[in-house]
Structure formats: C-alpha cells, structure tokens
Structure 1
Amino acid sequence: MKKTQVYKATEEKSVPGPGNRYELAIDESVATELLHHLIVWVQLPDVERRQLDIRLAGNVLTIKEAEEKVIDFTNLQRSQIVGNSPELKTCLNQVARAACKEDAVLICGETGTGKELFARAVHQNSRRDGENFVVVDCRSIPESIAEKLLLGQPRSARFGHHGLLPQANKGTLFLDEVADLPSSTQRLFYRLLQDEKYRPVGAVTDIRVNFRLIAATNRNLQQLAEQGKFDPVLLHMLQQHVVEIPPLRKRKGDISLLTDYFLTNFCKSRNIALKEQSPEFQEMLNSYPWPGNVRELENSLVQALLAARNKKTLFPKDLPSHIRVHVKKSSVGRKKKAVEDFSFDDDLFGGLFATDNPL
C-alpha cells in the first residue's frame, strides 16, 4: 500500500492474518486534516476498502466507521447553502454520502429549491473538485442538435467544436431538468455511463471519457418512466444516489437565516446600510408558504429593500402585494374556521339555559 503525504503518515505496516489488513498510524495533530481528506480513502476499490483500517488519534477505525465520519454534513463545503433545520441536515447528509462515491446522482426538488447549488456541493466535496463542472440545461436542447452539442464534432467538420461532454472529462456533467432531455439523448447517456466512451458526430473512432453525472429534476421520473416518457434504464442508473431537497415550507426554521444572508449580501453589493427587520415583517415571512421556495424568498427580499428606500427598518408593507394578500386571507380563513368549529357542549351548557332552571 502506497504512502499518502496528504495524511502525513508516521508509520505503515501490514498486519499478519486473514485478509492482510493494513493500518495507517496518524498523528493526533492531523486528525482534522484526515477527516477533511478521508473521502480519498473511501473511494478505494471494494477489495482494498475491506482490507483497510485507519488508526486515528490512537483509535482504529474500520472503513465503515471512517465513512460514517466523512458523510457527516458538518464536514461539507456548502457555499451558499444556508440553514440548520433538521430537514436540511438530512439532505446535506445525502449530499455527503453521494460525494464519497463515483456513481451517478439524482437531485430531486421543487422549482426554486437550489438544485444546482446542491449539485455543486456534491462536486466540490468529491475527488473531482478542481475539475470542470459543466451545466447543461436540458430544456434548451433541441433534439435535432442534441448529440452534436453534447459530443462535439471533429475539427475538420464545419463549425467543429469539442462538445460539452469532453469539457466535463475528469470533472462533472450536470443535467439540469433531466426530464426534458430528448428521448434519443437519454439512451445516449446510459450507453455513456456503461461504456465510458463516445464517438463525436462525424468521427470514425471512439474516445474514452471519465466524468461524473449529476442530474436534477422537479418532476416524478418514476411516473414518467411508467408512462413511457423517460428511459427506465437511465432512471435506474441515476437512482444509485438520490438527494431530496426539502421545499422551504418544510424547513421554516431556515427562513430567518436565509433572510439575514440575502439581506446582508444585497446591502453589501449595493453599498447600503443593512436594514433591520420589524417583528411583523419576520412573522409575515414565516407565515407565507413560499411556493417558489428559496428563489422566491430572495426575489421578494430584493423587492422589499427597493420598496423601503431610505427607511432603516423593513415592514410587511414593503413585501410584494401577493404575499401580503395571501397571508391576510389565510389569517382570516383560520379565524373563521375557529369560530365555525366552536360549539356549545349540550351536556355542559344545555341545562344552564333551560326554561325551568331555578337560576
């Protein structure tokens, strides 16, 4: 087993016995560094992983225990993913688990939840960090030129270009809204994942390619596959690792953190003083269901800042009108329902109003 300078190994030895297990002694001072880079170890081939134990700060960790440490979301680089709610933590653990592997990843979430941010988090926390992260918007790819756009053409061809797939070699290819990928291109991708090679349009020889595929969707791919609208083989390959992003209405605990984050960034970019938030403003943000999720929250806060102008504090009236109307209607509806649900208990109050009551 080769030494790895990343972990500053002080000792390396093979342990006699079945399986020829290995130990790697690590100084306690570099324990944190090891955890940060442990992802390299858990990507070893299965045979080597089963034979590997890591001695960390005086304790021997099995590879399973090592994986459990590295998949902890607290070790993740998660730029622009803001929040600490239990729902988000569950999602981040899924991101960490996917980042440790090389298989395809499917990211599911409603419009506006930030699927590309989570895809980038998988890339940035994988061994492919530092290589290209190529984004493909599947909604904008006409079927007639999809293969040419993705695979490229030889330089000798007219308007020859390298294509998006070669750009992702050694890196990650992100298919945004994969449900809109043309059917012929869906078949192309499962062949790419199986064979790890492709042939540019007009070429006569295949080219080897090494890329990580991450796809995202806001639709039910299983249902589409049953309806014959999505390739079931490609779906099976994408489902090896699934990251489910919770909608904002299910992570209400993150709204205040997101609000502070967006307001701070916007005020800093415009070189204006950070505005305060009235309690009523915060209450309205928490009362609204945010069907457009984080993207709608960000856009609404920008509108609120523009509406507030030179005021030092943000109030509900600064928010877009459709938010105020929805929250007010919901409040009235809840009060009306509470009144309708209220009824006298005949056993308790009936006798009190009886005509023969001596009182």
Structure 2
Amino acid sequence: MRKFVLLPVSLGILVVAYFVTFGLPDQVSRLIGIATEETASADGAAQGREGASQGRIARATSVVMEPLQSSSYALTLRTVGNATSAQRANVTMSETGEVVETFLEANAEVEKGDILLRLDDRTQHLSLDIAQAELDQARDTVERYQALQAGGNLTITGVTLSEAEVALRLAEANVGMAELALEERTVLAPISGRLGLSDVQVGDLVSSGEVIVTIDDSTSLVVEFEVPERSIGLLSVGKTVLVGTPTYAGRVFEGQITAFDSRLDSVTRSVTVKASIDNSDKLLWSGMTFLVRMIEETAPLPSLPATAVTWDRSGAGIWAVEDGRAIRHPVTILYREGDRVWLQTEIPEGTQIVTEGASKLREASPVTDADAPEGPST
C-alpha cells in the first residue's frame, strides 16, 4: 500500500521539475490562460525587431561620395644598375721581357699614345741594325746592276737584275719587321683616360698576354640594368632615365637609353638595357651602383580612393549613385598607388561614387550624402 502512494507522488515531483526547468508548453498555457511575463516580453521584442527592420528599409544609408574624375598615372620603374666607362681598355702585353722603365702612376690622366712602359730592347736594336745593313747592301747591288746594264754590260742579264731587286724588297721587309719588333718593346696608351692600379715595377719580367694596367675614360658612363618583362613597353632608344647613387644622396643624374637586348632572359624574364650618362665633371666613377628610374605618364584614367572599391564573387566593383540609389558597377583596377586606384570602367566622368560606407550597401539601396548640409533630401 505504501508503494502505491509513493509512486504518484514521485511522478508529480518530476512533472513539476520539468515545468520549472522548461516552462509550460504553449498549448497548456493557452488552455489554462496563463501568459507569463517572459512570454509577453519576448513577443514585444519580436515586434520591436520587426518594426525596426521596416524602419531600416525605408531609411536611406548615409555615405561619403565624390565625383568620378580622370587623371594620369605615372608609370615608374625602379631598378638597380652598374656603371662602366663608355671607353675603357685593359692594356695587355704583346711581348715578353724585362721592364726597364714605367709610367704607371695610379689615377694619372694619360692621352692616347703616351708611353706607359718600356721593355729591354737591346736585342731588337741589334736586329734592326743587321736588317738595315742588309738593306743597304741589297740597294747598292741593285743600283750597281742597273748602272752596268745601262752601260751596255752584257754580263748583267734581266734575270740577274730581277733577283737583286727581289733581294732588295726582302731586305726592306726585314727592316720593317725589325722596326716593328723594336716598337713593341714600348707600350703606349691605346686611349685617353685615367690609369688604374698596377703592380708592375722596373726589373719585373712580364709575359705576353699579361694585363699590366687598366684605362678608363669616364667622361661618359654606360649604366647597364635589367627591365622586367611587364615593363618592356617603356623601352625606346633615346628615352630619358633618372639615376642616383648613395655617394651623392639626393642628387639625380639624367641619361638616355642607347641600346637594349632583342630577347628576354629565359631565367630572369628580363631584358638588359644600356643607358649613357654624361660625366664631363667626372663626379661619377666606373663600377658605381646606381638606382635607376624610368617614368612615363598614361592617358587620363578614371581615378578614385581605394576605399571606393568593394569585392564580391564577381570581382571588383564600385557603387555609383543614380537617382538617389546606389548601383554597383564592375571595374578593373589598372594601377594602385598609396590610397588611390586608377580604373577601367564605362561610368561617365562626374558620376557620384560612394567612397566610404560602401560595405553597408545593397543593390538599389537609397543613400544620402553624409557631407551634405542638413535639410530635406532631393
């Protein structure tokens, strides 16, 4: 009997605990006419949200606008180049011998034809003396044969005279070769310019093919640099380039493109370019590293602050204001610099474009200019 009493009591406790935890079902509440304060509050909040939503639909979105304007964009290529002298030479020995005299003072200015170095030339002098003596002998022989033949001497035949004349020409050639060998014992400057460092001293034995000094004519420099594939449209012979160097910070030197390669490098995808820079004052040195700039302005293009561009699945777009409503138009960004972009679009110049607040807009949303003076909207 006691068990039968406890069972209904336990069930009652469970039902009460369920209602306390999860609340009364709506059906039960309507049947018993109970409307809790919580239910009334929830209904009021829902109605408030619905009313607020309707208010937002009707209310215009405040945005910042500006007219679409066109301006040129300065295409600027920045790269690094190395300078060399327009005229330069490595003075190389053509003979082997002992140095007996040098004029290789570093950084000295020389003119073309100046003596740089002398080798021991005693052997060459002797060879020249021998060749000259043989020449004199051959010349005397020819003159004697000619005189005898002219006097009617029949012992001097035409063959004999011809052989003497050949010997004369050979002797003249030997003299020329001896003179050339003697001249080559003296090294002359092949160009005018400034001498580099040299380790050659009097008494040194130099060999044929050895570089003894460099000469640079730095009155004109050639800057060589690389231009990437995307910028090859900027290249043309005679185009101005601007160069600078850390040595003269803040100073800009002008040059002109003189040549560029006919093909792209297969690895770097760039083309080699050479530009000439006047260096009459000789401030710049061969071997310097330069920062190179090339600038070219485009035709006027539609331009806006970068904040005007929004993105969706279709790509970039801007919001144009037409009859007080925002209409999205797709655009292509051509260039970007700082906080401004240059675009490709069919929107007419002067059209009002949303530049701030575009992220809040939907197609055909009514908008109002946040910068407009307060008053009735038109």
- Same-fold status (TM-score > 0.5): no
Q: TM-score range by the shorter chain?
A: under 0.3
Using structure 2 for the length normalisation, give the TM-score.
0.16
- Considering only CA atoms, is the larger Rg found in Structure 1 or Structure 2? 2
Higher strand share: 2
Using structure 1 for the length normalisation, give the TM-score.
0.17
Higher helix share: 1
